[in-house]
Amino acid sequence: MKTLPSPDCAEWLLAFDFDGTLSSPEMTPPVPDEFFKIIRELRDSHHTLWGINTGRSLLHTVEGMQQADFPFLPDYIIGREREIYTPNNYGRWLPVKEWNKQCDKAHVKLFRKHKRLLKSLREWVEAETSADWGLQADEPAGMVASSLEEMDAIVAKIDQETVDTEHLCYQRNAIYLRFSHENYHKGSALAEVGRLMGVSSERTFAIGDSYNDLDMLDTSIAGYLACPANACDEVKSLIADCGGYVASADAGLGTVEALSAIFSTSQKNTDGGN
């Protein structure tokens, strides 16, 4: 599988969270056909590049795209909220080396520095909650809770314990949590994609539904913001407060609705303003 033919000069950058935004297991197909139709149209009418900005690892994202039967590849993937990958001419995903190396290095240093604190948080989580520490084999600091309420309590504890902790933050997506460096998140990674692809933040669109999307749902990162109807309350109020588009449909259909509203696809070659 390949990407759509590249535009001569990219003018817009689109960023989509995957789970709950582009894709929903409750829908058949999980990513609606209309999404791929509008992406093709926007490639021609607005010279857009598009990608997935997700908490999933690269491998898990590729699996998700296969399950959702993508007809063509995105132009980039941001995995684990921070690592950037682009496809080569054969559709093979390659890391953006400079950024990913810098990101890895910062995390190794961060986790080494806060080893003791992470150990004590792990002990507390394992003794006091039924959350599982460790998202993946190569994930030194993350967990999955048994319920949203349990994750609310874990987050409250982490906030209390890390008030003065330098550079350590976390990305939460419903019952999932991953510790990370404050400089590497969906927002900074998307800004880097914009820099690499030569598209300004004013011409960047981002849509997401959960806490780990908050860093990219920022007007300094993307001039056009949206969320689907199923977004968590914090995301919905943020989008409403900054004049973004809160869709009335869930997940992929909400994403199509937001793209249609923002880019007014019936009027070709407009500047995309609404």
* Closest CB to Mg ion among residues 110, 253: 253
Q: Check residue 19 for interaction with Mg ion (CB under 5 A).
A: yes
Report the alpha-carbon distance of residue 165 to residue 169 in Å, rounded.
9
By CB under 5 A, what part of segment 170-209 binds Mg ion? 209
Report the alpha-carbon distance of residue 6 to residue 22 in Å, rounded.
22
Which among 14-22, 182-190, 195-203, 225-233 is the span making contact with Mg ion, rule CB under 5 A?
A: 14-22
- List helix spans (H) across 168-263: 186-197, 233-241, 251-263
**Minimum CB distance to Mg ion, residue 176 (Å):** 10
Which H/E stretch holds residue 113?
Answer: helix 97-113
Site string for Mg ion, 209-228 (x = CB under 5 A): xx------------------
* Closest CB to Mg ion among residues 209, 215: 209
When CB distances to Mg ion are compared, the closest residue is 20
Cα 10 to chain centroid distance, Å, stands at 21
- For residue 7, the SS3 value is coil
* Closest CB to Mg ion among residues 184, 211: 211
Which among 15-23, 37-45, 155-163, 199-207 is the span making contact with Mg ion, rule CB under 5 A?
A: 15-23
Q: Check residue 250 for interaction with Mg ion (CB under 5 A).
A: no
Which among 16-24, 80-88, 157-165, 221-229 is the span making contact with Mg ion, rule CB under 5 A?
A: 16-24
Q: Sheet containing 12-16: give its strands across.
A: 93-95, 83-87, 76-79, 48-53, 12-16, 204-207, 224-227, 245-246
**Does residue 77 contact residue 39 with C-beta atoms inside 8 Å?**
no
**Does residue 254 contact residue 228 with C-beta atoms inside 8 Å?**
yes
Residue from 4, 12, 13, 20 in contact with Mg ion (CB under 5 A): 20
* Closest CB to Mg ion among residues 107, 172: 172
**Minimum CB distance to Mg ion, residue 209 (Å):** 5
* Closest CB to Mg ion among residues 193, 232: 232
Query: Buried b / exposed e across 148-161, counting CB within 10 Å, b at 16+?
Result: eebbeebeeebeee
- For residue 120, the SS3 value is helix
* Closest CB to Mg ion among residues 10, 135: 135
By CB under 5 A, name the binding residues for Mg ion: 17, 19-20, 209-210
